[in-house]
Amino acid sequence: MIHLAAPLLLAAGLFSCGIYGVLARRNAVLVLMSIELMLGAVNVNLLAFDSYFHDQLHGGQILALFVIAIAAAEVGVGLAIVLQLHRARGSIAIDLARGLADEDPPRGAQ
């Protein structure tokens, strides 16, 4: 058997790539892809631990199946949101969507 560290390192690397993608990419679809990457890394982690500890209930594998299902659903919703964003703004650059910002009140108002 291979050492446990190997799949964990792989998962860590994938996760970091995913983090980088979420934080640094402007394109919304790429951000979604990076999220998928992170979820994939999590799956690898789950399966590695499941195999290493010889879990009788196979909790890791079952949770990995859940993650896959949820990821699929989430991507569906996420792409719908991106579609709406494009329809409303004409662009899917995330850093242009600043509706949550709190602006300073205009000058002269208390």
Classify 90 in phi/psi space as left (phi over 0), alpha (psi -120 to 50) or beta: left
Tell which one of 10, 33, 67, 94 touches other proteins (CB under 8 A).
94
Q: Which two tokens stand for residue 74?
A: 């989430």
Tell which one of 10, 12, 19, 33 touches other proteins (CB under 8 A).
19
Interface region with other proteins, contact rule CB under 8 A, candidates 15-23, 37-45, 58-66, 70-78: 15-23
Q: Is 98 in the site for other proteins (CB under 8 A)?
A: yes
Q: Which two tokens stand for residue 3?
A: 């050492």
85 close to 28: Cβ distance less than 8 angstroms = yes
Give the interface size with other proteins as a residue count (CB under 8 A): 14
